[in-house]
Amino acid sequence: MKIKDNIYILGIESSCDETSVSVVKNGRDVLSNVISSQIDIHKLYGGVVPEIASRKHIENIDIIYKESLKQAKLSIEDICAIAVTYGPGLVGSLLVGLSFAKGLSISSKIPFIGINHIEGHIASNYISNRDLEPPFISLIVSGGHTNLVKVESYNSFKIYGKTHDDACGEAYDKIARVLGFEYPGGPKLEKAALNGTQNKFSFPRGEVRGSIYDFTYSGLKSHVINVIHNIKQKNNESIDNQTISDISLEFQNSIIDSLVNRTISLSKELNINKVAICGGVSANTAIKTALKNECDKNNIKFYFPENIYCTDNAAMIASAGYYEFINGKRSKLDLNADANLEFTDK
Ligand code: KG4
Ligand code: ZN
Query: Domains in the chain: how many in total?
Result: 2
Same domain for 288 and 318?
Answer: no
Does 167 score more than 60 pLDDT? yes
Atom 5 in ligand 1: residue holding the nearest Cα: 143
pLDDT digits (tens, 9 = 90+) for 316-340: 999 999 999 999 999 999 999 999 9
Question: Residue 4's pLDDT band (boundaries 50, 70, 90)?
Answer: low
pLDDT digits (tens, 9 = 90+) for 267-309: 999 999 999 999 999 999 999 999 999 999 999 999 999 999 9
* Neighbour order of strands in the sheet with 112-116: 29-37, 18-25, 8-13, 81-87, 112-116
pLDDT digits (tens, 9 = 90+) for 57-74: 999 999 999 999 999 999
Atom 1 in ligand 1: residue holding the nearest Cα: 280
Position in ligand 1 atom list of the atom nearest CA 169: 12
Same domain for 163 and 270?
Answer: yes
Residues 192-218, mean pLDDT to the nearest whole number: 96
Q: What is the mean pLDDT of the chain?
A: 96
Residues 3-10, mean pLDDT to the nearest whole number: 86
Burial code (b: 16+ CB inside 10 Å, e: under 16) for 7-24 equals bbbbbbbbbbbbbbbbbb
CATH label of the domain that carries residue 79: 3.30.420.40
Question: Residue 101's pLDDT band (boundaries 50, 70, 90)?
Answer: very high
pLDDT digits (tens, 9 = 90+) for 223-253: 999 999 999 999 999 999 999 999 999 999 9
* Residues, beta carbon < 5 Å, ion ligand 2: 142, 312
Query: What residues make up the domain containing 315?
Result: 8-124+309-326
Same domain for 254 and 319?
Answer: no
Query: What is the 235 CA–ligand 2 centroid distance (Å)?
Result: 38
Task: Give 5-74 as a DSSP string.
Answer: SS-EEEEEE-SSSEEEEEEEETTTEEEEEEEEE-HHHHGGGTS--HHHHHHHHHHHHHHHHHHHHHHHT-
Query: What is the 316 CA–ligand 2 centroid distance (Å)?
Result: 10
With the most atoms of ligand 1 within 8 angstroms of its CB, the residue from 281, 306, 308 to mutate is 281
Kind plus residue range of the DSSP H or E element containing 255: helix 241-270
Same domain for 164 and 196?
Answer: yes
Same domain for 152 and 92?
Answer: no
Same domain for 281 and 229?
Answer: yes
Question: Residue 219's pLDDT band (boundaries 50, 70, 90)?
Answer: very high
Query: What is the 13 CA–ligand 2 centroid distance (Å)?
Result: 9
Query: What is the 287 CA–ligand 1 centroid distance (Å)?
Result: 12
Residues 207-218, mean pLDDT to the nearest whole number: 96
**Considering the domain boundaries, does residue 159 fall inside one?**
yes
Does 1 score more than 50 pLDDT? no
**Considering the domain boundaries, does residue 129 fall inside one?**
no
Query: What is the 273 CA–ligand 2 centroid distance (Å)?
Result: 25
Name residues contacting ligand 1 (CB within 6 A): 16, 142-144, 169, 172-173, 184, 186-187, 190, 279-281, 283-284, 311-312
Same domain for 190 and 300?
Answer: yes
